[in-house]
Amino acid sequence: MNEQIETLQRIKNNGIDLLMEFGPKVLSATVIMVIGFLVARWIGKVFLRAVRPLKFDTTLQTLLARIIRIIVLLVFLLMALQNLGVQLLPLIAGLGVAGAGIALAMQGVLGNLVAGLTIIFTRPFRVGEYVSMQGVEGRVEVVTLFSTKLSHADRSIVIVPNRKIVGEILHNYGTLRQLSLSVLVAYGTNISQAMQVVQAVLGANTRVLKDPAPAVGIANLKDVAIEIAIKPWTQVADAGAAGPEIYNDLLESFRAAGIQIYTPATRVVAA
């Protein structure tokens, strides 16, 4: 019983000694890290306010702000470790060895990271532009260090790993889309009148842009009908809805003008 009491007393005394020796250091290191976190966040906000008038790319601004925050935090972390009495050189050497093993185990993640940096600095596309790549397409919503988020026309979200983008064929539509529409009219149609009707329909549609101007003309002389190509420009967000609206207005306007749209029945009547 006496031995147990003596053991507990030694543990208590050792605990008090450790607390007296390292308690203030741990407390001060914690305070240093809290201050470092607040300073890093403040510096990041100041940096973003400073570069906003320069109109840098949003993704690049965010990346640089994060890098600055990380650097500031690392400086305060080194200060905290030094305050605890940690030998930094052996620690750095150990982290280097561990980092090599982690790098081998996370090749895919590091590949995405390198590709993300490449995308951010070379800027093959920007947030808000419509792109097509790797069999998927959509509006660029967010570009991070590891992946790119696209919003599809059906309101779904597509996440593409950055390493799947760099070095591959990419189609960047920008912020505009050109629709490729067409209509078939019988050979007896007054083409000038049909063109005027098409232009009037396009001009009345609020989704169709005036600049660049829509392209309208004869695309093909088929065996049974004349194909009129209709290629208006719209904003990316309006591309899905503009086509059906234009076709609906064309149908009503052609009927009102007495212009006959070609159908198989039209060929029978003409014969």
Nearby residues of 162 by Cβ (< 8 Å), 6 or more positions away: 112, 113, 115, 116, 118, 119, 145, 146, 147, 148
Token digits for 76? 């305060």
Read off the pTM: 0.56
Measured between alpha carbons, how far is 249 from 181 in angstroms, rounded to an integer? 13
pLDDT per position as a tens digit, 146-178: 888 998 877 889 898 888 888 888 888 888 888
CATH number at residue 138: 2.30.30.60
DSSP 8-state assignment for residue 52: G
Using DSSP bridges, classify how beta strands 170-174 and 233-235 pair: parallel, antiparallel or unpaired: unpaired
Share of the chain above pLDDT 70, in %: 74
Asked whether residue 10 falls in the same domain as residue 99, the answer is yes
For residue 210, being part of any structural domain is answered with yes
Residue 109 reports pLDDT greater than 60 = yes
pLDDT, residue 270, reads: 34
For residue 118, being part of any structural domain is answered with no
Q: How many CB atoms lie within 10 A of CB 119?
A: 20
Task: Write the burial class of residue 163 (CB in 10 Å: 0-12 exposed, 13-18 middle, 19+ buried).
Answer: buried
pLDDT, residue 37, reads: 85
Residue 271 reports pLDDT greater than 50 = no
Phi, psi for 18 (deg, rounded to 5): -65, -40
pLDDT, residue 134, reads: 79
Domain that holds residue 148: 124-174
Asked whether residue 162 falls in the same domain as residue 208, the answer is no
Asked whether residue 159 falls in the same domain as residue 190, the answer is no
Asked whether residue 255 falls in the same domain as residue 235, the answer is yes
Residue 269 reports pLDDT greater than 80 = no
Does 177 or 108 have the greater pLDDT score? 177
For residues 183 and 216, the answer to whether their CB atoms sit within 8 Å is no
Asked whether residue 6 falls in the same domain as residue 99, the answer is yes
Asked whether residue 61 falls in the same domain as residue 137, the answer is no
Strands (E) in 33-155, as ranges, are 130-133, 136-143, 147-151
Q: Pick from 78, 105, 132: which residue ends a domain?
A: 105
Asked whether residue 167 falls in the same domain as residue 253, the answer is no
For residue 116, being part of any structural domain is answered with no
Residue 118's pLDDT band, with cuts at 50, 70 and 90, is confident
Dihedral angle over CA of 268, 218, 178, 124, nearest 10: 120
For residue 240, being part of any structural domain is answered with yes
Q: What's the domain count of the chain?
A: 3
pLDDT per position as a tens digit, 211-254: 889 999 888 888 888 899 999 999 888 888 888 999 999 999 99
Asked whether residue 12 falls in the same domain as residue 96, the answer is yes
| Residue 123 falls in which region: left (phi positive, over 0), alpha (psi -120 to 50) or beta | left
CATH number at residue 16: 1.10.287.1260
pLDDT, residue 231, reads: 93
For residue 117, being part of any structural domain is answered with no
